[in-house]
Structure 1
Amino acid sequence: MGKSKTTKFKRPQFNSVGLPVTVVKEGDGEEEEHGDDSCPAAELLEKLQSPSADVREFACASISRVVQQSQTIPGFLQRDAVRRLGPMLLDRSLAVRETATGALRNLSACGGQEVCEDMVKHDIMTPLTALLREVRLHRCFSLTASLQLLPISSCYSNINESSSQALSVFNKSGLLDVVVQCLEKHPHNLELAISAAHCLHTVTEDNPELLCSMNTAVLGALENVLLSSQPGVTQTLLRTLAAGTLWNMKSSLPAARQAETVNAVVATLSQCLDLDAGMLIPELRQAEELRHRNAPAVSDIEGQAPEELAEEEMIEEEEAPKQKRNGKAAKVDNDFSDLLPRGKEELREATALLTAQQTSLEIIVNMCCSDGEWLNGLRCLCSFIENSLSHTVLKKTEFPKKETVNLCHQNPSWRGLIKKMERVQSRALTCLHSILSTMDAESLGGATALQEAAQHLSSMVFGAPEIPKDEEFLEAVISAMRSLLQMIASKNIPQCMTPQQLMSLSETATRCDVVSVRVNAVAILGITGSTLAKEKGTAETLQMIGNALLQVATKDPELVVNGEALDALFDVFADGEEAETAAKNISLLPALKALQPVFKTKIRKEGKGKYSPQQLCVLDNIRVNLRRFIGYLEKVLKK
C-alpha cells in the first residue's frame, strides 16, 4: 500500500516545571491501587466553601496531589470539581489562587482530553483569562506571581492542546504578551520560563490565527533564549522548546532571517541530542547521593528549626540576594515547584534532559513532515543531510545502557526515568523512519551507511533471546526497518537480515494489537520477497513468505492489513521463475480466487464507516489489482 507517512507529533501535556505528565504518573514507581471508596473528592470539594482561607488552600493543594493518581479523577468530575474550583482562581487569598491553579493544572494534565473538554464546558477560561490579565496589568513578576503563573500557563497549554475553543480564547485575549514576558525571565526564574516555553510551543502549533499576530518582540525573545549560553541541562530543555516554537513560526519569520533561524534551530536540536544520557544520569545520581551524605542535619544549621529554615528559603532574591549557610555565602534558589519535592534537583535535571531529547526528536519528525519549500530549504541549509544529525539520531535508537537502567531501578524516585529513556529510544526510531522516508540514499551516506544502519536495527530486534514485545518500541522499530529495507531494495544493496529472522519478526508482529505494526510487518515481507524473487534457488523461502502473507490476507481482522498483505503478495510473485515455482507449490491462484469475493464484500460492508476516503481509495485499487493479478497468474501458471 505504499510508503507510510509519519504522523506529526503533538505537544505532550506537562506540569509546572516542564515535566511531562508521564513523569508524574511514573516518577515514584508503581502506582498504588485505590478504589472509589478511598477517593476523598466529596470532602475536599466541600472544604472549598470554607470561610477559612487556610482550609480552602489545604483543599486545593490536596486535590492537586490526589488527582495525580488518574483513577481518582472520575470521582472529582462526577462531583462537579471544575465548576467548584473555577472561582478559587479569583479568590481573595493569593495562596488559594496559586493552589487552585495547581489543582486545575494537574487535573487537566492527568485527566487528558475528557477533563479539558469539561473545563471548557464549565467556562474555566473566563476566570483563568481574568487571572492572567490581572497579572499582566500589574506587570508583577515577584516570586509569588511567578509561582502563580507556573501552573496557569501549564493549565492553559493542556486545555489548548485539547480544545480549539480554548485556543481561540487564548488568541483573542492578548495573552501572548504575558507568556512572552514569563519567557524573558529565563535568566532569573528558569521554571517560569520553561512553563512559558511549553505554553508557546503548544499554542503556536497549527495556529495560523496566532501566528498572524507575531511581532519582532516575540521573535526576539525566542531568539534570545535560543542563542543564550547559560550552562545546564534544564537550560537545554528551554532552548529546545524555543527551537520548536520558532519552527512552528517559520511562516511568520522575516525572509531575510529564515535561513539563519532554521540553521540555529537545527544546531540547537543537534546539540541537545549529542548529550549522552547514559553518562549524565549516573553522574547526576552520584551527585545527589554525595549531596545527601554531605548535608548536615537541619538542626545543625546554625541551630535553626525546620520551620525557620523553610521560611528563610522563601526570601525573595531582590530582598536578600545572598544568605549565610554554614558560614558561607550562598545564592538563594528561587526555582520552586509544588509538584516535585525540594531536594530533587538532580532528578529534575535528569528528567529535563530526557524531556529535551524526546522533544528534539519530535520536532525533527515534524520537520520531515513539512511540505514544499521549507523542507527543500531544510535539506539545503543544514547538517541534516550532511549525515551528522542523522547519525546522532541513529545513536539515540540504541537501547538504554544497562548500568544506567539498573541504577535508576534501585531508587523509587528515579525509577520513572526508565520508561522515559525507553520513550526517547522509540522517538529516535520514529525519527529515523521519518528521515529515511524523506531523504535520499546518497544524502544519508550511501550504501555503506545504509548497511550499517540495517545491521544496527537487526541487532536491536534479533540480538535478544526473543524479539521485544513492547508495543511502542515494536511500532517504532518496525516502521524504521520498513523504510530502511525499502531504500536498500531500491538501490539493490544486499540485505543483512535472513528470511528466518524476518519470518520471526512477522510472527511477533502479527500477534501485536497495533494495526500499524502488522501493516509494516507484511510490507517488510513483501520487500524481502520481491528482492529474493530475483535470485536463484529462493523458491522455498518464497513459499514460506507467501504462506505467511496469505494467512494475514485471509485471517487478520483489519481490512487495511488484509490489503497490505495482498499488495505484498503482488510484489513477491509478480515476476521470475522462482516466484512461479513457489506460487504453484502454495496453490496461490486458487487461494486468491477464493479470497477475491470475500475481500470485495469486506470493503463494501466495513469500508465506509471505518476508513478514511484515502484508505478506501487504496483498498479499491488493491481490489482492482487483485483481479488483474489473478488474470496474470492464470496465464503464467498454465505454461
Structure 2
Amino acid sequence: MGKSRTKRFKRPQFSPTGDCQAEAAVAANGTEAEDEDGPAAELLEKLQHPSAEVRECACAGLARLVQQRPALPGLARRDAVRRLGPLLLDPSLAVRETAAGALRNLSACGGFEVCDDMVAKDIMTPLVALLKECSAGLDSNEMSPQEKKDESKNSIETIANEAVNVLWNICECNSRAVSIFNKEGCLEIVLKYLSRFSTNVDLAISVAYCLQTVTEDNPELLKSFSTPALQVLESAMLSPVSSMEFILLKTLVAGTVWNLRNIIPSMSQAEIINAILKILADVLELDMGETIIQMKEAETQRLKSAAESEETVEMANGHDLIEDEEMEELPQKRKIRRKTYTSDLLPTTDKELRETIALLTAQQTALEIIVNMCCNEDPSDDEWEELSSSDESDAFMESSFSDGGGQLLSPLCLSDEIHTALTNYLIPKKVFEKTTFPNSNAVEVCSRNPSWKPLIRKMNTIQCRALMCLQTLVSLLDVGHLGGVPALQTLAQHLSQLLFSQPDFDKNVDFLEAISSALRALLQTMASKNISQCMTPDQLMTLCKVGICSSNISVRVNVVSILGITGSVLAKEEGTLETLKTIGSFLLEVATKDPSLVVAGEALDALFDVFADGKEAEKASVQIKLLSMLREFQPIFKMRIRKEGRGKYSPDQLCVLDNVKMNLRRFVAYQETVEKRLTS
C-alpha cells in the first residue's frame, strides 16, 4: 500500500506568516552545529511556554528550521516530533496551524526515514484526532454565525489543509500510515473536505493529492468507497473550470478515479476512461509558455494599477510620497511609506504565480497519469534500468542466432477502451507537443524575476515527463495510430534535433534519461517495421560516448540498447563493416568494464543482437576478435554474478542475469562456428 520508495517529488511547504516571520527568520539563520543552546533547543523549549503566542512563534521557527537538512538529526535527537504532536490539539487555533505547518515541512523535507520515525513516534494519533476535530468544527453549531463567517471557519479550514498535507506526506512514505488511514475512517473525513472544493480549492487540492496516494494499490480502502463517496469525486471531476487551480484539482481527482477503476462496474469502464482522458487532453492542450507570458503581464499590470491607486489615495489625503532623501530624516514616515506599497505587502506566491504553478503541475500530473494508465499491469519502466530489456531470453535461446534476435523491449498490453480513448483525444499528438524545449520567451520572462525563476525547472520537468510518456505510447500503439511511417520519421528527426541542438545535453541527467528512453523505444519500433533509422553513425556514437559516462544506470542501459537496435539493422546491410566494428568494440568495452552488472548484461544482449546475423556482422566479429574477448570474459561474468549478485541485485534482476549468462555460452558456441567457417 502507498507508493513505492523509488521516487519522491518535492512537496509544497508551509510558510510562516504574520508576527512569527521574524522568529522563523532567526531559525533559518541558525545551524545545528551550535551547542545545546542553539536555535533548535531554544525553539523546542518554547513549545511548552504558557503563552499561546510564544508557542505559535516557536512552531513557525521550527517550520523554517526543518528545511535545513543539517538540522534534522539534532531535531530527531531532541524528540521534536513528540513535542510538536500534542500541539496539534492545542487550545489555540493559531498554534495548531503552525504546529501542523512545522510537521508538514518536517515530513516534506525529511524523506522516508523521517516519516517512518514520525509514525513510530505515534504522530498519527494526534493527527487523526485533529482531522476529526476540524471535520466536526466545520459543521459545529456552537459558534455564533459571525464567528463562522469570520476567522474561526477560515482557521479550521486552514488547519485542515496543513493537517491533510502532513497526512499525504506520511502516507506517501509509510505503509503503516496508510493502514491507519484505512482503519481510522480518514476517507470519510477527507472526502468531506473535498466536497468544499467550490469554496476552498486549496484544501480540495491537498485532499486530492492525498487521495491519489492512498488509493494506489490499496484494495482494503477501495472497499470503503460508497456511492456517495464516488459522487463527491465525480462532482469534483466534472466541476466547471474557473481557474488554473480547478484544472489541477480535476486532474488530481481524475488520477484518483483511475486508481478506483476496479470497483467501477464493467459497463461503466469505457465511460470513466473517456472522462479521465478528456480531462487530461484538455490539460495538455493548454500552451504553458503562452500562459506564463500572459500571467506575468497580468501580474505586472495589477501591481502597476495597485501602486497607482495607492498613490492616488495618498495624494487625495494630502500625504504625498516622500523622496528618499527626506526619508533619512523621517524614519517614521519611511515606515508608513513602505506599508502603502502594495508590492511590499504581497505574499511570496501571488495570484498569477499560483495560477501558473497550478497549470504546470496539472500538466506534469496528466503526463504521469497517462503513463500509469498505459503501464499499470506491466513491470516498471525501470526494470532493466534495474532489470534489462532481455526478458525474451527463452525465445532467444531457441534461436540459432541467425534470425536477428528478438524484440528488445517487451510489448505492453493496452485495453481496447484505453487504446480508443488515447487516439480519439489525440493524446500522442499532445504529448509530442510537450516534448519541445520550453518557450524561449517564457524562459526569458521567468529568468528576470526571482519568484518566477523556479518555473523554468518546472517546464524542463514537463518536457522530461512528456518524453517518458512518449516512450510508453510508442511502445504501445501501432504505427497507424501514431500517424504512420512519415510521423515516426518526423518524430525521429525531432528527437535527434532535441538531443543535438542542446550543447550541454550531457549535463542534464534527467533530460538525457528521458530522451534516450524515448529514442530507444522509437528506434525499436522503427526497426521492427523496417523503417529507415534516423541517426547518423557519428550522432549515434556521440550519444553513446556521452551516455555511457553518465552516473545514471538508466542512461547507460538505454544507450547500449540503442546501439544494439541500430547495429542489428546495419548488420543486414552492405557497406557497414567499419560502423559495425566501432559498435562492437564499444559494446565489448562496456560489457567488460562497466561497474554495473545490469549495464554489462544489457551490453552483452546488444552484442548478441548485432552479431547474430549478416555477412558484414560476421566479418566485423572476426576483425574485432569478438570470440576471444567473450571467451576470456565468460568466467569473469559468471564470477561477478556469483559474488556481487546476491547482495546488490533483486531476484528478478538475477533471473535476467542468469539468462544472459546462458545466452553468452550459446553465443560463444555460435561464434566458434562463424569463425571456423570464415577462416577455413
Normalised to the residue count of structure 1, the TM-score between the two structures is 0.87
Looking at structure 2, the residues matched to 227 and 568 of structure 1 have their Cα atoms a distance apart, in angstroms, of 48
Alpha-carbon offset, residue 351 of structure 1: 0.9
Deviations 1:78-132 (A, max 9, x none): 3211111001001111111111111111110111111111110110001011111
The aligned residue for residue 557 of structure 1 is 595
Give the secondary-structure state (helix, strand or coil) at the position aligned to 1:623.
Answer: helix
- Asked whether the equivalents of residues 273 and 392 of structure 1 are also in contact (C-alpha less than 8 Å), the reply is yes
2:238 to 221, 227, 231: 227
- Asked whether the equivalents of residues 485 and 495 of structure 1 are also in contact (C-alpha less than 8 Å), the reply is yes
The aligned residue for residue 373 of structure 2 is 367
Looking at structure 1, the residues matched to 5 and 536 of structure 2 have their Cα atoms a distance apart, in angstroms, of 32
2:527 to 489, 492, 515: 489
The aligned residue for residue 127 of structure 1 is 126
Matches within 5 A, 1:194-205: 194-205=205-216
Unaligned residue ranges in structure 1 (runs of 5+)? 1-6, 19-30, 304-339
Deviations 1:207-259 (A, max 9, x none): 11111110111211111111111322111100000100000111111333222
The aligned residue for residue 666 of structure 2 is 628
1:425 to 463, 480, 488: 463
1:243 is the counterpart of 2:254: yes
Give the secondary-structure state (helix, strand or coil) at the position aligned to 1:36.
Answer: coil
Give the secondary-structure state (helix, strand or coil) at the position aligned to 1:290.
Answer: helix
Looking at structure 1, the residues matched to 247 and 459 of structure 2 have their Cα atoms a distance apart, in angstroms, of 17
Alpha-carbon offset, residue 407 of structure 1: 1.5
2:363 to 353, 357, 366: 357
- Asked whether the equivalents of residues 458 and 497 of structure 1 are also in contact (C-alpha less than 8 Å), the reply is yes
- Asked whether the equivalents of residues 547 and 586 of structure 1 are also in contact (C-alpha less than 8 Å), the reply is yes
The aligned residue for residue 635 of structure 2 is 597
Deviations 1:142-191 (A, max 9, x none): 21110111110010010001111111111111111121111111111111
- Asked whether the equivalents of residues 479 and 520 of structure 1 are also in contact (C-alpha less than 8 Å), the reply is yes
1:379 is the counterpart of 2:378: no
1:173 is the counterpart of 2:173: no
Tell me which moved more, 367-376 or 417-426.
367-376
- Asked whether the equivalents of residues 645 and 654 of structure 2 are also in contact (C-alpha less than 8 Å), the reply is yes
Tell me which moved more, 393-402 or 341-350.
341-350
Deviations 1:338-373 (A, max 9, x none): xx9266111111111111111111111111112399
- Asked whether the equivalents of residues 57 and 95 of structure 1 are also in contact (C-alpha less than 8 Å), the reply is yes
Alpha-carbon offset, residue 379 of structure 1: 3.3
Looking at structure 2, the residues matched to 374 and 143 of structure 1 have their Cα atoms a distance apart, in angstroms, of 48
Looking at structure 2, the residues matched to 265 and 518 of structure 1 have their Cα atoms a distance apart, in angstroms, of 35
1:261 to 253, 267, 272: 272
Deviations 1:239-295 (A, max 9, x none): 000100000111111333222111110010111111111110111111111111111
Tell me which moved more, 262-271 or 620-629.
620-629
- Asked whether the equivalents of residues 161 and 202 of structure 2 are also in contact (C-alpha less than 8 Å), the reply is yes
Give the secondary-structure state (helix, strand or coil) at the position aligned to 1:296.
Answer: helix
Looking at structure 1, the residues matched to 131 and 14 of structure 2 have their Cα atoms a distance apart, in angstroms, of 18
- Asked whether the equivalents of residues 592 and 600 of structure 2 are also in contact (C-alpha less than 8 Å), the reply is yes
2:431 to 376, 393, 407: 393
- The one-letter code of the counterpart of 1:74 is P
1:530 is the counterpart of 2:568: yes
The aligned residue for residue 101 of structure 1 is 100
- Asked whether the equivalents of residues 281 and 425 of structure 2 are also in contact (C-alpha less than 8 Å), the reply is no
Alpha-carbon offset, residue 466 of structure 1: 4.9
- Asked whether the equivalents of residues 9 and 363 of structure 1 are also in contact (C-alpha less than 8 Å), the reply is no
1:569 is the counterpart of 2:575: no
- The one-letter code of the counterpart of 1:578 is E
The aligned residue for residue 350 of structure 2 is 344
The aligned residue for residue 112 of structure 1 is 111
Q: Please identify the structure whose Cα radius of gyration is greater.
A: 2
Alpha-carbon offset, residue 437 of structure 1: 2.2
- The one-letter code of the counterpart of 2:33 is D
The aligned residue for residue 548 of structure 2 is 510
Looking at structure 1, the residues matched to 201 and 513 of structure 2 have their Cα atoms a distance apart, in angstroms, of 35
Alpha-carbon offset, residue 73 of structure 1: 2.6
- The one-letter code of the counterpart of 2:253 is A
Deviations 1:557-602 (A, max 9, x none): 0111111111111111111111111112111111111111111111
Alpha-carbon offset, residue 10 of structure 1: 6.4
Alpha-carbon offset, residue 139 of structure 1: 3.7
Looking at structure 2, the residues matched to 193 and 512 of structure 1 have their Cα atoms a distance apart, in angstroms, of 41
1:37 is the counterpart of 2:34: yes
Looking at structure 2, the residues matched to 122 and 590 of structure 1 have their Cα atoms a distance apart, in angstroms, of 60
Looking at structure 1, the residues matched to 288 and 572 of structure 2 have their Cα atoms a distance apart, in angstroms, of 44
The aligned residue for residue 408 of structure 1 is 446
1:80 is the counterpart of 2:79: yes
The aligned residue for residue 306 of structure 1 is none
Tell me which moved more, 484-493 or 578-587.
578-587
Tell me which moved more, 386-395 or 200-209.
386-395
Looking at structure 1, the residues matched to 30 and 461 of structure 2 have their Cα atoms a distance apart, in angstroms, of 25
- The one-letter code of the counterpart of 1:604 is R
Tell me which moved more, 195-204 or 551-560.
195-204
Give the secondary-structure state (helix, strand or coil) at the position aligned to 1:413.
Answer: coil
Alpha-carbon offset, residue 386 of structure 1: 4.3
The aligned residue for residue 157 of structure 1 is 168
Aligned positions, number: 585
- The one-letter code of the counterpart of 1:135 is C
Deviations 1:312-333 (A, max 9, x none): xxxxxxxxxxxxxxxxxxxxxx
- Asked whether the equivalents of residues 16 and 151 of structure 1 are also in contact (C-alpha less than 8 Å), the reply is no
- The one-letter code of the counterpart of 2:34 is D
Looking at structure 2, the residues matched to 8 and 249 of structure 1 have their Cα atoms a distance apart, in angstroms, of 22
Across the aligned residues of Structure 1 and Structure 2, the Cα RMSD in angstroms comes to: 2.4
- Asked whether the equivalents of residues 13 and 157 of structure 1 are also in contact (C-alpha less than 8 Å), the reply is no
- The one-letter code of the counterpart of 1:194 is I
Unaligned residue ranges in structure 2 (runs of 5+)? 16-27, 140-147, 315-345, 379-411
The aligned residue for residue 317 of structure 1 is none
- Asked whether the equivalents of residues 32 and 74 of structure 2 are also in contact (C-alpha less than 8 Å), the reply is no
Looking at structure 1, the residues matched to 204 and 365 of structure 2 have their Cα atoms a distance apart, in angstroms, of 16
- The one-letter code of the counterpart of 1:191 is D
Distance of aligned partners of 1:566 and 1:8 in 2 relative to their CA distance in 1, 3 Å threshold: same
Distance of aligned partners of 1:302 and 1:89 in 2 relative to their CA distance in 1, 3 Å threshold: farther
Looking at structure 2, the residues matched to 378 and 40 of structure 1 have their Cα atoms a distance apart, in angstroms, of 57
- Asked whether the equivalents of residues 413 and 476 of structure 2 are also in contact (C-alpha less than 8 Å), the reply is no
1:460 is the counterpart of 2:459: no
- Asked whether the equivalents of residues 385 and 439 of structure 1 are also in contact (C-alpha less than 8 Å), the reply is no
- The one-letter code of the counterpart of 2:522 is L
The aligned residue for residue 333 of structure 2 is none
- The one-letter code of the counterpart of 2:417 is L
Give the secondary-structure state (helix, strand or coil) at the position aligned to 1:638.
Answer: helix
Looking at structure 2, the residues matched to 127 and 12 of structure 1 have their Cα atoms a distance apart, in angstroms, of 26
The aligned residue for residue 183 of structure 1 is 194
- Asked whether the equivalents of residues 454 and 484 of structure 1 are also in contact (C-alpha less than 8 Å), the reply is yes
